[in-house]
């Protein structure tokens, strides 16, 4: 990064814009929400400041600790927040950092920066939303400390001790305010994912995450010398790369610092993730467009120059990106975010900068690695053929359905109500369970689509094969939305899509296959909250002509506690939906008044991790899957993908 500007942002340029009361009144404006998400956001706001110090070249280690009381400690070995008096306010600079709300960042206008770095505006927001916050600074042999409560200063900045001259750094400890947050218990895994991502995006930083809440403390250390190159390797874990190198481009243009890393695997999905100033941009933007342009242009030019395709032919961007895992990361002085959720980069200079850096360096790479170039282009040509075949198959289906008036799949027992808002569709594993469900359902509003046997694993199939699959075709026509570029959520025929499978390993596998299909081909259905998992009971308890159902071991134990454990108890463990008659199925799993549904949700900010979850669960390789399942065994109860 350009570091010359550092001097221009002196402590005296800090402007007072608004009191911290405004933050407490409308926290959502500053941290997005007061849910568990906002709670974790506080940590990122603080860590961003240390990352800035690292980017400026003064810090290489950041330690984040979840303390027993769910307070958070963030410690770095940078220069320490300046303690000198700020001219305008006559207060120590550090106090201004914590008590004055700054413009800039995500929601304000101007370009204020504490450090000339990229973030550094959130400290006062975190302070305002914390029951208490303490900052400790080591600087020139002295230890300074100040404490705040709900944003108010408790005492002047004080020297509380001495430290070795060479030791410098900043430590912040804060306890999120229970008056503000709906949830105040930190999730180690959420912090782990984001901090790992930050470490990938900031080459050579060492981020240590500790959890002190349990009997034994947990610790994770993230340190990647290769930065985003290692990010790509990490995301391709569990997939099979088609060449060993991770292609890497880096450069500076028009004040935009560009870094791109990429590698193709033998799968069919595209996984391109873009970041601006280490913040993920799930909706992409100019930087991603610049990258895609450069990729399409360069590969076509290379292919033509080397007679791998005819002069009259060209490969589409999508074909070139089949199986591509890529990270596009730019650092910009004043990012402009667009779109409904402000997750899309708007700066036009980023498009040109990324296009330029990638076009130039990728061409050099391809010329120096003709074997790699050949592998990628052969794969792209295959992708093109499959896509052509798929298009033909789809056109045929389209024409056919236009002829016979969009016929619904034969196996579908549709509901009679035609208002999608009232309707739901059960996707049921197996014909026999499908039969019971058809008998049990409430005909007006509940449709049943039974699926036979194993569902096609879309992680392992190309488009042509996917379009040809009967079960998948049935779902697409039943939902009414189309898929891919045709996808139109306003055509959705049901408000709820409910996956109902046996409560055993096979059932879980089928659910995962179905979710994989929905995630890859109709992600908006999940994003908009239309997808659910039915929860059939695991046990039936009969005693003295009375019946109870239990949905977990704990629940069964609780019921037994209540009714007494004796030989009159008749306990049945359900192995599958098929063991229930229609009436039982209705009562336990389908009656809207009594059933339990789990809504499937996804966190777009963590989409690279989510992608990894699906490949890990559904891909070819066994080792990563075993590891994943072991690591996550205790969370599978709570299916929140
Ligand atoms: F802002 C904050 F409180 F959230 C925070 C800031 C929290 C933590 C854990 C660390 C930091 C931080 C700030 N680490 N390092 C710095 N560096 C500066 O603020 C700094 C130091 C020296 C100079 C200089 O020009 O000499 C300039 C700056 C911005």
pLDDT of residue 88 exceeding 90, the answer is no
Mean pLDDT of all residues in 266-286: 94
> Virtual CA dihedral for 275, 278, 282, 285, nearest 10 degrees?
-40
From CA 113, how far away is CA 119, in angstroms rounded? 7
| C-beta atoms surrounding 597 within 10 Å | 17
Query: Average pLDDT in the 48-75 region?
Result: 96
Give the per-residue pLDDT at 239.
92
Phi, psi torsion values for 193, nearest 5 degrees: -65, -45
Q: Indicate the pLDDT class of residue 349, thresholds 50, 70 and 90.
A: very high
Encode pLDDT of 367-392 as tens digits: 999 999 999 999 999 999 998 988 88
**Which residue's structure tokens are 């050949």?**
374
Least confident piece of the model among 199-203, 411-415, 446-450, 552-556: 552-556
Q: How far is the CA of 303 from the centre of ligand 1 (A)?
A: 49
Instruction: Tell me the C-alpha distance between 633 and 189, whole Å.
Output: 13
Which range, of 204-208, 272-276, 631-635, averages the lowest pLDDT? 631-635
Mean of pLDDT over the chain = 88
What would the mean pLDDT of 297-320 be, rounded to a whole number? 96
Kindly report the number of other CB atoms within 10 A of residue 168's CB atom: 19
What integer pLDDT is reported at residue 228 of this predicted model?
Answer: 98
> What's the pLDDT band for 452 if we cut at 50, 70, 90?
confident
Residue 439 banded pLDDT, cuts 50, 70, 90: very high
Distance 139 CA to ligand 1 centre (A): 11
Topology given in CATH for the domain delimited by 228-393: Ribosomal Protein S5; domain 2 (3.30.230)
pLDDT digits (tens, 9 = 90+) for 229-246: 999 999 999 899 999 999
Neighbours of 515 (CB within 10 A): 21
Token readout for 81 is 């927040």
What residue ranges do the domains of the chain occupy? Answer: 11-223, 228-393, 401-537+585-602, 539-573
**CA angle in degrees (0–180, nearest 5) for 19-23-29:** 130
Would you name the residues annotated as active-site residues? 429, 502, 504, 506
CA dihedral 464, 465, 467, 470 (to 10 degrees): 160
Residue nearest to atom 16 of ligand 1 (CA): 81
172 CA → ligand 1 middle, Å: 11
* Per-residue pLDDT reduced to its tens digit, 145-188: 999 999 999 999 999 999 999 999 999 999 999 999 999 999 99
Which residue's CA is the nearest one to ligand 1's atom 6? 49
Q: Which of the listed residues 11, 73, 78 should we mutate to test ligand 1's pocket, taking the one with most ligand atoms within 8 A of CB?
A: 78
pLDDT band with cut points at 50, 70 and 90 for residue 29: confident
**Do 11-223 and 401-537+585-602 agree at the fold level?**
no
Cα separation, 103 vs 637, in Å, equals 43
For residue 79, give the ligand 1 atom closest to its CA.
Answer: 21
| Residue whose C-alpha is closest to residue 241's, from 263, 270, 274, 225 | 263
Is residue 459 pLDDT above 90, yes or no? no
Q: Which of 100-114, 116-130, 351-365, 457-471 has the highest mean pLDDT?
A: 351-365
Residue 628, pLDDT score: 59
pLDDT(639) > 70: no
- Domain at 401-537+585-602: CATH code: 3.40.50.670
What band does 109 get if pLDDT is binned at 50, 70 and 90? very low
Q: Which residues line ligand 1 (CB under 6 A)?
A: 6, 46, 49-50, 53, 74, 76, 78-79, 81-82, 97, 114-115, 123, 135, 170, 172
CATH class of 11-223: alpha beta
Ligand 1 probe mutation, 50, 51, 54, 128, most atoms within 8 A of CB: 50
Strand-pair category, 256-264 with 247-253:
antiparallel
For ligand 1, the distance from its centroid to the CA atom of residue 49, given in whole angstroms, is 6
Indicate if the alpha-carbon torsion angle 343, 348, 351, 356 is positive or negative: negative
pLDDT of 177 reads 98
Helix, strand or coil for residue 532? strand
Q: Is the model's pLDDT at 19 over the cut of 80?
A: no
Residue 596 has pLDDT above 60, yes or no: yes
Q: Which residues share a beta bridge with 337?
A: 345
The pLDDT confidence band at residue 630, using thresholds 50, 70 and 90, is: low
What pLDDT score does 113 carry? 37
- Here the tokens at position 282 are 């799930």
Is the torsion defined by CA of 273, 276, 278, 283 positive or negative?
A: negative
* C-alpha separations of 340 from 27, 31, 283, 297 in Å: 19, 16, 10, 30
384-433 per-position pLDDT tens digit? 999 898 888 777 766 665 555 467 888 999 999 999 999 999 999 888 88
> Which pLDDT band holds residue 453 (cuts at 50, 70, 90)?
low
pLDDT of residue 612 exceeding 50: yes
Closest CA to 11 of 88, 68, 78: 88
Judge contact between 371 and 243, C-beta under 8 A: yes
The average pLDDT across 57-62 equals 96
Q: What is the DSSP string of 451-464?
A: E-SSPP-GGG--HH
Mind giving me the DSSP string for 383-410? HHHHHHHHHHHHHHHHHHHHHTTSPPPT
Q: From atom 17 of ligand 1, which residue's Cα is the shortest distance away? A: 81
| pLDDT the model gives residue 631 | 58
Buried b (16+ CB within 10 A) or exposed e, 551-590: beeeebeebbeeeeeeeeeeeeebebbbbbeeebbbbbbb
How far CA 602 is from CA of 496, 518, 524, 605, in Å, comes to: 16, 12, 10, 9
> What is d(CA 583, CA 581) in angstroms, rounded to the nearest whole number?
6
């Amino acid at each position: 990064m350009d570091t010359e500007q550092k001097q221009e942002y002196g402590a005296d340029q800090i402007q007072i814009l608004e009191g911290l009361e405004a933050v407490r009144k409308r926290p959502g404006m500053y941290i997005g929400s007061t849910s568990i998400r906002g709670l974790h956001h506080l940590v990122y706001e603080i860590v961003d400041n240390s990352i800035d110090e690292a980017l400026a070249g003064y810090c290489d280690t950041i330690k984040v600790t979840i303390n027993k009381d769910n307070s958070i400690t963030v410690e770095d070995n940078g220069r320490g927040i300046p303690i000198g008096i700020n001219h305008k306010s006559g207060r120590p600079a550090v106090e201004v950092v914590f008590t004055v709300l700054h413009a800039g960042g995500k929601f304000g206008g101007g370009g204020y920066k504490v450090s000339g770095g990229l973030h550094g505006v959130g400290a006062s927001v975190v302070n305002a939303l914390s029951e208490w916050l303490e900052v400790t600074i080591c600087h020139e042999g002295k230890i300074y400390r100040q404490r705040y409560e709900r944003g108010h200063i408790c005492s002047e900045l004080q020297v509380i001790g001495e430290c070795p001259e060479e030791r410098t750094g900043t430590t912040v400890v804060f306890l999120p305010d229970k008056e503000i947050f709906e949830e105040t218990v930190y999730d180690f895994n959420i912090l782990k994912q984001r901090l790992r991502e930050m470490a990938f995006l900031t080459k050579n930083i060492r981020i240590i995450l500790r959890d002190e809440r349990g009997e034994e403390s947990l610790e994770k250390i993230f340190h990647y010398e290769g930065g985003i190159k290692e990010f790509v390797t990490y995301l391709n874990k569990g997939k099979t790369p088609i060449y060993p190198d991770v292609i890497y481009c880096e450069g500076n243009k028009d004040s935009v610092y560009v870094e791109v890393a990429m590698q193709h695997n033998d799968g069919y999905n595209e996984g391109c993730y873009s970041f601006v100033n280490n913040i993920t941009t799930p909706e992409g933007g100019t930087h991603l467009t610049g990258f895609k342009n450069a990729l399409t242009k360069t590969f076509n030019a290379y292919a033509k120059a080397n007679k791998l395709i005819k002069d009259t032919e060209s490969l589409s961007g999508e074909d070139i990106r089949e199986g591509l895992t890529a990270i596009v990361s730019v650092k910009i002085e004043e990012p402009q975010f667009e779109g409904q959720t402000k997750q899309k980069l708007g700066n036009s200079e980023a498009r040109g900068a990324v296009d330029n850096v990638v076009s130039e360096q990728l061409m050099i790479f391809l010329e120096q690695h003709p074997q790699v170039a050949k592998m990628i282009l052969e794969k792209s040509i295959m992708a093109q053929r499959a896509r052509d075949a798929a298009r033909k198959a789809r056109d045929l289906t389209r024409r056919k359905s236009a002829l016979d008036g969009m016929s619904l799949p034969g196996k579908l027992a549709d509901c009679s109500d035609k208002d999608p808002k009232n309707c739901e569709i059960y996707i049921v594993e197996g014909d026999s369970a499908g039969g019971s469900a058809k008998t049990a359902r409430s005909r007006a509003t509940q449709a049943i689509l039974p699926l036979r046997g194993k569902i096609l694993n879309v992680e392992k199939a190309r488009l042509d094969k996917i379009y040809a699959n009967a079960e998948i075709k049935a779902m697409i026509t039943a939902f009414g939305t189309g898929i891919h570029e045709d996808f139109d959520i306003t055509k959705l025929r049901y408000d709820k899509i409910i996956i109902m499978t046996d409560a055993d390993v096979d059932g879980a596998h089928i659910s995962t296959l179905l979710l994989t299909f929905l995630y890859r081909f109709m992600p908006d259905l999940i994003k908009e909250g239309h997808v659910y998992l039915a929860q059939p009971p695991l046990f039936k308890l009969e005693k003295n002509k009375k019946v109870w159902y239990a949905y977990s071991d704990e629940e069964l134990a609780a019921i037994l506690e209540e009714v007494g454990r004796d030989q009159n108890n008749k306990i049945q463990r359900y192995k599958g939906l098929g063991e229930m008659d229609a009436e039982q199925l209705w009562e336990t799993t389908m009656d809207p008044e009594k059933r339990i549904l789990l809504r499937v949700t996804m966190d777009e900010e963590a989409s690279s991790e989510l992608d990894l979850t699906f490949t890990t669960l559904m891909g070819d390789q066994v080792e990563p899957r075993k590891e994943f399942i072991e690591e996550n065994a205790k969370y599978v109860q709570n299916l929140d993908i």
